[in-house]
Structure 1
């Protein structure tokens, strides 16, 4: 669990990635969704945020990640702290 650094809705993708990498078994459980008209959930914002998180996740797992300058990593976290 300490490998997961995402705090948005992308955390479940990261969790499933690490579980599969460790050889753990997972099961699917259906979840019933009820939309609330007063919800502050914005699908478009989530799509953009998860897309950026996916790109960052893929970059973090590349062999060249260790060569990415710290200032770029810090800039990512500064700009996308809402993700």
Structure 2
């Protein structure tokens, strides 16, 4: 496995994954939908109505190009 490489050269700016934030957001969305199904409240149509995207971890995504200095190091799996 020492020669394995990533398939896509995309990483986050801050280096943190958004996985935990996305899990929390989807759980909150499902819980609200489940609670509001039998009531007259409006059911949210999208996850963004439940949680603000700007409060999630990470600072967006960045695509590396082969001419960049750290490209080879970034493409190696940890």
- Report the TM-score when normalising by structure 2: 0.32
**Larger fraction in helix:** 1
- Report the TM-score when normalising by structure 1: 0.31
The structure having more radius of gyration, on CA atoms, is: 2
Higher relative contact order (CA 8 A, sep 6+): 2
